[in-house]
Homo-oligomer: A and B are copies of this chain.
Amino acid sequence: MVRNNNSGIKEIARLSGVSIGTVDRVLHKRGRVSAETKKKVEEIATQIDYKPNIMAKYLATNKNHRIALLIPEPSQDEYWQQAYEGIESTLSKSEQQGVHVESYFYSLGDKKTFEKMANEILKNKPEGVILTPNFLDEGLIFYNQCMEASIPIIMFDTTIPDTQPLSFIGTNSFQSGMVAAELLTMTTHHSGKFAILHFDEELVNSPHMLDKEFGFINYINKECPDREYLVVVLNNEKHYYNDQIQKLLDKNEISGIFVSTSKAYQIGSYLQEKNIRNINLVGYDLTSKNIELLKSRYISFLINQNPRRQAEQSIQTFCDHIIFKKAVNSRILFPIDIVTSTSIQE
């Protein structure tokens, strides 16, 4: 039952009449090999379709690697808590592979904390950075600093326009907006307007928030141009959400609402309070408040961005890159995950 070892580096060495050291040198392009032997070895390698044994490779390399993680404070926000759970769940695996993750958190309400943490990371010179750049300008500065220091970056959840991270891991925001519009049109029984709601004025301009809106509008324009819609920004400072919602509903005949953040529950709880059943609501993310309202059907659909899985994928992609030197995909987009009251996993 012992594996037949006619496929390894040793076999290449035997067939090409050189030592395994030489084979290794040509395989890793470390030079110091005559053109002649190089050619021969490469020929044999392709001929026997050589695939390195990653387990052995890992074992022999046996290095430690440090990567830094920079995300919003998990305790501040359930979404980021879920993301961090994803990190934690792969931690033991990545540790075992010799990849150590150092976590840095910033506050969503304070750009300074982002800058502070970014600087700290730069000081510690990790081999890689995993980042969710909720502050675009500060994020771009940090991105450039990392590029200068040749530290590869993986971004997840959010990207910065015009950057080329090693990989972006997330969902297709534009498409998710289209799907939201589609779900609303499918479930809406009367012809009232659709409302696209934004919270947190300052984040409205973030690219993936805009993409969601554009996707939504794009769908409406293309598939049901008769449907009217309006874009509303709820003022976060006053916290008079309910008043603002009421005003919106009083002024307009609304049949469907699309909330482009994880705050659909704010609307849902209003609908619940007033027992409004003829307005369909689509939002994002499986946070506990959202789930509760999804179950009681004041939210019709939630689009699950799966921060957990995004985070796991980020770590894993970095491990693949750093220790197995695998080529990584520059964009890993998860399929749109539509969740309903009964499809949710308990």
Interface residues on A, range: 35 or more
> In the complex, are the beta carbons of A98 and B187 less than 8 A apart?
no
In the complex, whether A183 has a CB less than 8 A from a CB of chain B is: yes
User: Given contacts A63-B1, A338-B343, are A186 and B300 in contact (CB under 8 A)?
Assistant: yes
Nearest B-chain residue to A54, judged by Cβ: B96
> In the complex, are the beta carbons of B64 and A3 less than 8 A apart?
yes
In the complex, whether A35 has a CB less than 8 A from a CB of chain B is: no
- Kindly list chain B residues whose C-beta atoms are within 8 Å of the C-beta of A175: 342-343
> In the complex, are the beta carbons of B64 and A341 less than 8 A apart?
no
Per-residue CB contact flags for chain A residues 40-65 toward chain B (1 = under 8 Å, else 0) read: 00000000000101111011001110
> In the complex, are the beta carbons of A183 and B340 less than 8 A apart?
yes
- Kindly list chain B residues whose C-beta atoms are within 8 Å of the C-beta of A51: 92, 96
> In the complex, are the beta carbons of A338 and B340 less than 8 A apart?
yes
In the complex, whether A2 has a CB less than 8 A from a CB of chain B is: yes
Bound CA–CA A186/B92 (angstroms): 43
Please, could you name 11 A-B residue pairs with CB atoms under 8 Å apart, sorted by A?
A1-B63, A3-B62, A3-B64, A4-B64, A53-B96, A178-B342, A182-B341, A189-B189, A219-B342, A335-B345, A337-B337
> In the complex, are the beta carbons of A343 and B179 less than 8 A apart?
yes
- Kindly list chain B residues whose C-beta atoms are within 8 Å of the C-beta of A179: 340, 342-343
> In the complex, are the beta carbons of A63 and B2 less than 8 A apart?
yes
In the complex, whether A336 has a CB less than 8 A from a CB of chain B is: yes
Bound CA–CA A56/B338 (angstroms): 41
Q: Which residues of A in the span 303-346 have a Cβ within 8 Å of any Cβ on B?
A: 335-343, 345
Nearest B-chain residue to A183, judged by Cβ: B340
